[in-house]
Amino acid sequence: MATISVTTKDDVEAHFPDGMTDDSDPADWRMMSTRGTAQRLITIQGFAKRDAVRAAQLRSLRLSGGYRPGMPMVEIPPEICEIVCGEEGEQEQGVLSHAWGMLRRGQLRDKKAVRDLRGLVERHWILNRKMYPGFGRHGSHPPTEVLDEYLLRLRRDRPYVLKALATYLVAIARHIHTENLPPLQIPVIKTMGSRVTPGQRPLLEQAFGGVYWDDYGSAEFGAIACECEHHNGLHVFDDFFIVEVVDAEGHPVADGQRGWIVVTDLMNTTMPLIRYKIGDVGVIDHQPCACGRSGPRITVEGRAHDTLVDSQGGWRTTDDVVDFLEQCPGVVAGQVCALGSQRYELTLIEDTHVALDQEALREQFAEWIGGQPTVKLQTATTLRPEAGGKFRYVRGDLERSSNHGSVG
């Protein structure tokens, strides 16, 4: 594999679709938008790949938390999105009423109507999934009464799995902790479309009364890897994917060394992606796991464009930055923007219970990042999401770093 060049998002966009797809019937294609914070990339999936995506999703739920079809699940996505097959987000219409409507309108052979019906069957009958709206105009830190509404719904619905944007999970968990409320009793906690840092996991598990299980996936590929009961890296679904961690030139790095994650999809023959640089950084481990599985495990540490480069050329990933800020007295959350030439802008959400010493924090950050940085601080009451609904806590400079090359 190492002899094959890495595929970047620029490569895909330059050759899409004629130079990237097979000769299958376009009527069977489904266009997938990644809606990433850096670029909007379109990929195409055929029926076989979409079935593989469903299978990988169910495998991830089963291996990470023991979920079985029919157990109640609640999702709070960054926006009403095309997670299953239905394209209009959460629909109040039930499976039978949708099928009856198809019959009345003569749509039994209509591909979109059939696709929406499959989505409804999967959501309501197989996954037993409810979808709550996101925080919307409230940003990252909604008022108390909004968080109380989420708690009321969760206590009423009593899901076995709660899967939500990391920002939402942390905000609800911190509200439970700050207000000294009884913990929820949700056995399985997962994130979607974003990362929970190592420092945030204990808070989530205490507040939600369950276990946080990490997994990894993307709009291009679906579920790629998940944790086992030992929580020591994510097991790659190696019957569906080949996952590597490489350096800036595309050469595999040693186990435990940070690099760019590249993925080869073994299931999507409609639009094959080979050694595709997905935009994340992490490490890989080929040693057998204590659970008995012998395939590779990965640890994802954040997005490449959300990674800072310190004065020594080392990487400071999203995990590093978020955990650093949240352990600073007086800080609930924050966002760091690298402006180049060792200039940084920090936007901080203040803790209403602990005073924030801005000068001390500026000195702490300067010592942490190294060199002679210029650090500008500002405060806010909430952080706003990107256009795709996700929150970006670091705007990094790894892509500009001449020491590490370009990240696609």
Residue 308's beta-bridge partner residues?
Answer: 316
Task: Count Cβ atoms within 10 A of the Cβ of residue 371 and give its class: 0-12 exposed, 13-18 middle, 19 or more buried.
Answer: exposed
Please give the Cα distance from 122 to 210 (Å, whole number).
25
In the chain, % of residues over pLDDT 70: 92
**Tokens found for residue 186:** 């949700």
Of all helices (H) and strands (E), which one includes residue 306? Answer: none
Q: pLDDT tens track of the chain, all 408 residues?
A: 888 999 998 888 888 878 888 888 887 787 776 554 444 567 888 888 988 998 999 999 999 999 998 999 999 998 644 333 333 334 446 788 889 999 999 998 887 788 788 878 877 788 788 999 999 889 999 999 999 999 999 999 999 999 999 999 999 999 999 999 999 999 999 998 888 999 999 999 999 999 999 999 998 899 999 999 999 999 999 999 999 999 999 999 999 999 999 999 999 999 999 999 999 999 999 999 999 999 999 999 989 889 999 999 999 999 999 999 999 999 999 999 999 889 999 999 999 889 999 999 999 999 999 999 999 999 999 999 987 788 999 998 775 553 444 333
Please give the Cα distance from 68 to 72 (Å, whole number).
9
**For residue 85, what pLDDT is reported?**
36
**For residue 200, what pLDDT is reported?**
95
- The Cα diameter of the chain in Å comes to 71
Q: How many helices (H) and strands (E) does the chain have?
A: 9, 20
Handedness of CA 99, 103, 108, 110 (dihedral sign): negative
Spatial contact of 90 and 127, defined as CB atoms under 8 Å apart: no
Q: What is the 3-state secondary structure (H, E, C) of 44-101?
A: EECHHHHHHHHHHHHHHHHHCCCCCCCCCEEEECCCCCCCCCCCCCCCCCCHHHHHHH
Render pLDDT for 87-130 as a digit per residue (tens, 0 to 9).
333 444 678 888 999 999 999 888 778 878 887 887 778 878 89
**For residue 363, what pLDDT is reported?**
96
**For residue 204, what pLDDT is reported?**
98
First to last CA, the chain: 19
Tell me the Ramachandran region of residue 106: left when phi exceeds 0, alpha when psi lies from -120 to 50, beta otherwise. Answer: left
Residue 154 contacts by C-beta under 8 Å, 6 or more apart in sequence? 74, 162, 172, 184, 186
